[in-house]
Chains A and B, each alone.
Chain A
C-alpha cells in the first residue's frame, strides 16, 4: 500500500525547508544529526530558552526517511513595548534521520521536557535517543510490537490487517428481508457495490 504511492507524495513536497521557509513567525533550519547538540546549545545561549515540542515525521520513500523537528521558543526576558508581548521568536530545527541508523543524541539533560517527547518518538516511530535515561514506550502498551506512526505500519494493526474489512451491511443487525423501516442487508450491499463502481447484483429488486 505505501510503497506504490508514498514516494511520489514525499518527493513532491514535503520538505518543509523548501516549501515553507517563508513562514514569517519561525525560521526553519535543517541540520545534520551530528551538529544537533552543538546547534541547540548555541541557540539556547542565544535566548531560545524553551523547548516547546519535539515532533517526528516519516517520509517513507525519501532518504533520509525520518525527520525529527525541534520547536524552540525565545521568551523575552524584558519586554520593551507592549507590541512585543505576543511575538516571541520561534525556530524549528529539522534533523534528518536515516532508517539505517535511526538514532539521535538525547537532549533531555538540556531540557527536561525533552524526556517524554523523546519517549513518544521512540514509541511511535522507533527512533532511539542516545543517553536517554529511560527510553520506554509512553503511549502504547509496553508489550506492543511495532511503531504505529510509521507509514508502513498496517492501519488496523498487524493481526487484523490480514482479515477483510467487514462491509457495513454485514456489521448491521438488520436481518435479510427486514421490513421497510430500514434498508435490508441486500439493499445495503447493492448500494455499497454501486458506490464502489461495481455492477449491481442482477436481481433488479427495489433498493429501499
Chain B
C-alpha cells in the first residue's frame, strides 16, 4: 500500500493481535530424534519457514510459543518435556511431529512414551516417519489458521 498522508485502516484490535500472533509463532529449539533433522530443514532456503514468521527458534521456553515434539519421547525425557511445556508462556501450541511422537510409532516398548499427548496437549499431529518438511509447514499453517479463526490467541489470550 502506498503510504500517503491522511490514509488509515480500521480494524478490530483483536484481529490485529491475531494477525500478529499467527505471523510470529516462535518454536522452541528442541530436537528429539531423526524428525529433528527434518525440522531443521524447514529453516533452510528450500522450505523457508521464515515465510510464515516462525524462523526464530528460541532457546528459552519463556520466549517460545510453539513446541515441536520432533521424535520419540523416551520415558526419561518425558518429565523434561512436560517441564519445558509448563515453562512456556500462554498461549502456547504443540505439534506432535511424526509417528513416534504421536503414538510411539514402531517403538512399542518399555522405554518410549506411547504418544506425547499423554504428557502435553497436542494441537496438530503430523503423520510420517519422518514427515516431510512440507508436512511440518502445513501443520504450522493449521495452527496459524486456528489462531486467525478465533482459537486461542488474540488480546484476551488464555491457555
* Chain A positions 130 through 164: 1 when the CB is less than 8 Å from some CB of chain B, otherwise 0: 00000000011100100010000111111010000
The complex places the Cα of A30 from the Cα of B110 at a distance, in Å, of 33
Q: Verify A141–B76 contact, CB threshold 8 A.
A: yes
Secondary structure class of chain A's binding surface, majority of residues: loop
The complex places the Cα of A137 from the Cα of B102 at a distance, in Å, of 28
The complex places the Cα of A158 from the Cα of B110 at a distance, in Å, of 8
Q: Which residue of B lies closest to A140 (CB)?
A: B76
Residues of A with C-beta under 8 A to B76: 139-141
The complex places the Cα of A127 from the Cα of B109 at a distance, in Å, of 22
Q: Verify A148–B75 contact, CB threshold 8 A.
A: no
Residues of B with C-beta under 8 A to A158: 110
Q: Verify B75–A156 contact, CB threshold 8 A.
A: no
Q: Which residue of A lies closest to B76 (CB)?
A: A141
The complex places the Cα of A141 from the Cα of B110 at a distance, in Å, of 12
A78 within 8 A of B: no
**Shortest distance between the CB of A154 and any CB in chain B (Å):** 7
The complex places the Cα of A70 from the Cα of B47 at a distance, in Å, of 48
A196 within 8 A of B: no
Q: Verify A156–B110 contact, CB threshold 8 A.
A: yes
B144 within 8 A of A: no
A148-B110 CB under 8 A given contacts A140-B76, A141-B76: yes
B22 within 8 A of A: no
The complex places the Cα of A171 from the Cα of B76 at a distance, in Å, of 24
Residues of B with C-beta under 8 A to A148: 110-111
Q: Verify A157–B109 contact, CB threshold 8 A.
A: yes
Q: Verify A171–B110 contact, CB threshold 8 A.
A: no
* Chain B positions 83 through 117: 1 when the CB is less than 8 Å from some CB of chain A, otherwise 0: 00000000000000000000100001111001000
Best-buried of B108, B110, B114 by chain A (most CB within 10 Å): B110
**Shortest distance between the CB of A129 and any CB in chain B (Å):** 22
Residues of B with C-beta under 8 A to A140: 75-76, 111
The complex places the Cα of A87 from the Cα of B57 at a distance, in Å, of 46
The complex places the Cα of A171 from the Cα of B108 at a distance, in Å, of 13
**Shortest distance between the CB of A2 and any CB in chain B (Å):** 15
The complex places the Cα of A160 from the Cα of B112 at a distance, in Å, of 12
Q: Which residue of B lies closest to A171 (CB)?
A: B103
**Shortest distance between the CB of B82 and any CB in chain A (Å):** 13
Q: Verify B103–A141 contact, CB threshold 8 A.
A: no
**Shortest distance between the CB of A143 and any CB in chain B (Å):** 10
Name A153's contact: one of B75, B103, B110 (CB within 8 Å).
Answer: B110
6 CB < 8 A contacts A-B: A140-B111, A148-B111, A154-B110, A155-B108, A157-B109, A158-B110
Q: Hey, which bits of chain A sit against chain B, CB under 8 A?
A: 139-141, 144, 148, 153-158, 160, 165, 171
